Amino acid sequence: MDIRAQNETFDLFWSLTKWGTIFVVLTLILMAIFLV
């Protein structure tokens, strides 16, 4: 596995983590709004 492929894998993992975090935060906000 060369360095370029490793960087691409890291970028993919980072974007997935970023969107996953955004999704969780939005879900918590919506739950807080609807449950109150």
Per-residue model confidence as pLDDT tens digits over 5-30: 888 999 999 999 999 999 999 999 99
Closest listed residue to residue 19, CA positions, set 8, 27, 7, 29 = 27
pLDDT at position 23 is 98
pLDDT at position 31 is 96
